[in-house]
Amino acid sequence: MKRLAHLLATLALLAASALAQAFGLDDLQKHLGDTAVVKGPFIQEKHLRALPQPLLSEGRFVLARDHGLLWLLQAPLRQDYRIDASGIARRTPEGWQALPSRSAAAEQNRLFFAVLQGDSSGLQRDFELSLSGDAQHWQLRLTPRSLLLKQVFKHIDITGGRFVERIELNETQGDRTVLRMPQSSGAATLDDPERRDFAD
């Protein structure tokens, strides 16, 4: 009887392990891409080796599956960015102005866009991906493939549940950026100002 109980317990552990491993990159991409619109506040901390306290910035984001990403910085200064199929643009008094595709801000915003979408195929071009956990609590580590990216990042860690909740960029020089999005929510459609921002 004890042997049977031990066998059943072992089988249960194996089944649980198999279920945990069944959550793969394709599942994560589908999981994050299921909601048409995701929006919420973000807090970004830039930890620089030369400064005792991190630099803080705050704002809101809107990720629309069929349109792109609005990255709306509100403090310490106001600056809006839009990422869509045509590239990356910054809002100016004259309207949206395209940014050079290879600028540092463009590269970082493009990375955030891919991460928030769960675009594993896009990320795999530049990073080795290591996923653990399940749909409720998952962790994804990005390790750079190219020499250029290896000069910038040691690794990038992303955690989340229903949506992405935290992104940490660890740079080779010792600096670190932490992006927290703890109150994201889903919506079926964009509101009118958001729709205009993507249409302009």
User: Rounded to the nearest 10 degrees, how much is the dihedral formed by the CA atoms of 129, 134, 137, 139?
Assistant: -10
| Mean pLDDT, rounded, for 13-17 | 40
The yes-or-no verdict on residue 6 having pLDDT over 60 is no
Q: What is the pTM of this model?
A: 0.78
The yes-or-no verdict on residue 9 having pLDDT over 50 is no
Q: Report residue 169: phi and psi, to 5°.
A: -105, 115
pLDDT in tens, 24-56: 888 888 888 888 899 999 999 999 998 999 999
Lowest mean pLDDT among 14-28, 77-91, 131-145, 179-193: 14-28
Question: CATH number of the domain at 24-199, please?
Answer: 2.50.20.10
Instruction: Produce one character per residue of 35-45: b if its CB has 16 or more CB atoms within 10 Å, e if not.
Output: bebbbbebebe
Percent of the chain predicted with pLDDT > 90: 44
pLDDT in tens, 77-130: 999 999 887 788 999 999 999 887 665 555 666 676 777 766 777 788 888 999
